[in-house]
Amino acid sequence: MHIYIVLLQMGTFVDSIPVPNSAALNGMAVIPRNPGVVLGADLIEGRMFSINILTGETKEVLKRCRACTCRRESGRPSIGTNGLRVIDDFVYFTSPNRVTFFPISHR
């Protein structure tokens, strides 16, 4: 999967950053004290990635959170992490299949 950087004022494509080992990024959040770094939530795999949009560096910061994924035999599609918010020193995200809201420290 890739994320795309677009300059909205000009409607211009700027860059594409590959995010290895991601299935479906759904939800991104900026870390206020870390300019140029966004977090991306992998909807399918229950992972979270740190993506530096200035350098293109990506790293997995939450590895396949067991509490975030749902067993596939439930008959429903498996949905991992979904939606991110950064408030102060915490990242908040949801796991829709588990109907759970998680806070974790990003420091």
Tens of pLDDT along 1-26?
899 989 999 989 999 999 998 888 88
The answer on pLDDT for 71 being more than 70 is no
pLDDT, position 25: 86
**CA 48/CA 43 separation, integer angstroms:** 9
The answer on pLDDT for 84 being more than 90 is no
- pLDDT (tens digit, 9 = 90+) per residue, 26-59? 888 888 888 899 999 887 777 889 999 999 999 9
19, 2 Cβ separation under 8 angstroms: yes
- Residue 37 has a CB neighbour count (10 Å cut-off) of 18
Contacts 24+ apart (CB under 8 A), 70-79: 70/95, 70/97, 70/98, 78/44, 79/43, 79/44
pLDDT, position 69: 53
In Å, how far from its chain's centre is CA 62?
A: 9
